[in-house]
């Protein structure tokens, strides 16, 4: 009897603890399941957002590619024509330099840089031949005048040669630059009234007065360069 009395509460105790433990287990597994669910959910969310991010990155990359190709295409379409002319000294001068012609959007721009000039104003023209072989530059011929007008200042209503660029200033060190642009020239278009290919750039010792015929009384030819591609 005693033994039973002693055992019974123990069993009861065991029952309650087992129940408690079971409850705890159930609670724990429920919590675990909830944690698992939360983890799964967060993994799913992360995964989706990662995919979206990579998609965004992909689209931004392809967007950048398309903009770069968009930026490249007009350059290809326009195909900027360019001629660089190395100027040689003539008539025993020390003048050297270079002239760059560029055709863009129907306009030809000229950028000329010289050194070795005497300070002051000098005339610069396009002459009719790309031939600088003569020591005095005479092989370059007269002013390029495909429209058979009289010599004059560029744009003059009374007429001017297509080679009548004008005058530019050389500083005290003998350096001079001139820029010029016009839609009345082209580079290699084949229109004999516009095409500067096969002509020459001539720099004169003196100044163009824009009135003397046929070449503005600009003096000797001190630098020459053929406009050849």
Q: What are phi and psi of 118, to 5 degrees?
A: -80, 140
The 3-state DSSP class for residue 160 equals coil
The nearer residue to Zn ion, 90 or 151, going by C-beta atoms, is: 151
Choose which of 202, 222, 224, 227 interacts with Cu ion (CB under 5 A): 202
Which residue in the block uniquely carries the two structure tokens 């530019």?
168
Min CB(151)–Zn ion separation in Å: 4
List the single partner that 161 binds among Cu ion, Zn ion, none, CB under 5 to 8 Å by kind.
Answer: Zn ion
Partner in contact with 164, chosen from Cu ion, Zn ion, none, beta carbon below 5 to 8 Å by kind: Zn ion
Q: How far apart are the first and last CA of the chain?
A: 126
CB under 5 A: which stretch of 25-33, 74-82, 157-165, 189-197 binds Zn ion?
Answer: 157-165
E strands, the chain, where? Answer: 81-89, 96-104, 107-115, 120-127, 166-170, 176-182, 200-204, 221-226
Among 122, 127, 161, 199, binds Zn ion (CB under 5 A): 161
Which of 81/182 has CB closer to Cu ion?
A: 182
Question: What's CA 156's distance to the chain center, in Å?
Answer: 35
164: contact with Zn ion by CB under 5 A: yes
Q: Which of 125, 151, 161, 162 binds Cu ion (CB under 5 A)?
A: 125
Is residue 222 a contact point for Cu ion (CB under 5 A)? no
| 107, β-bridge pairs | 104
Distance of alpha carbon 129 from alpha carbon 144, whole angstroms: 8
For 152, the token pair is 């004059």
CA distance 87 to 202: 9
Q: Is 202 helix (H, G, I), strand (E, B) or coil?
A: strand
Which span (20-28, 84-92, 108-116, 156-164) binds Zn ion, by CB under 5 A? 156-164
Q: Residue 90's binding partner, choosing from Zn ion, Cu ion, none, with beta-carbon cut-off 5 to 8 A by kind? A: none
Q: Is there binding between residue 143 and Zn ion (CB under 5 A)?
A: yes
Question: Should residue 204 be labelled a site residue for Zn ion when binding is judged by CB under 5 A?
Answer: no
User: Which residues of the chain form contacts with Zn ion (CB under 5 A)?
Assistant: 143, 151, 161, 164
User: Which residues of the chain form contacts with Cu ion (CB under 5 A)?
Assistant: 125, 202
């Amino acid at each position: 009897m005693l033994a039973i009395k002693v055992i019974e509460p123990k069993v009861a105790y065991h029952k309650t603890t087992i129940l408690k433990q079971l409850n705890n287990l159930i609670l724990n597994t429920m919590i675990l399941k909830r944690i698992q669910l939360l983890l799964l959910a967060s993994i799913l969310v992360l995964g989706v957002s990662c995919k979206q991010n990579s998609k965004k990155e992909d689209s931004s990359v392809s967007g950048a590619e398309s903009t770069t190709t968009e930026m490249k295409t007009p350059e290809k379409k326009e195909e900027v024509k360019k001629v660089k002319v190395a100027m040689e000294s003539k008539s025993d001068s020390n003048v050297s330099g270079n002239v760059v012609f560029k055709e863009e959007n129907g306009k030809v721009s000229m950028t000329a840089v010289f050194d070795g000039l005497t300070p002051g104003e000098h005339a610069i023209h396009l002459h009719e031949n790309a031939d600088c072989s003569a020591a005095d530059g005479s092989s370059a011929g007269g002013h390029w005048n495909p429209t058979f007008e009289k010599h004059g200042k560029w744009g003059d209503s009374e007429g001017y040669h297509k080679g009548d660029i004008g005058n530019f200033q050389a500083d005290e060190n003998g350096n001079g630059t001139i820029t010029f642009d016009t839609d009345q020239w082209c580079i290699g278009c084949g229109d004999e009234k516009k095409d500067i290919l096969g002509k020459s750039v001539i720099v004169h010792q003196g100044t163009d007065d824009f009135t003397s015929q046929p070449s503005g009384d600009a003096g000797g030819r001190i630098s020459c360069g053929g406009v050849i591609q």
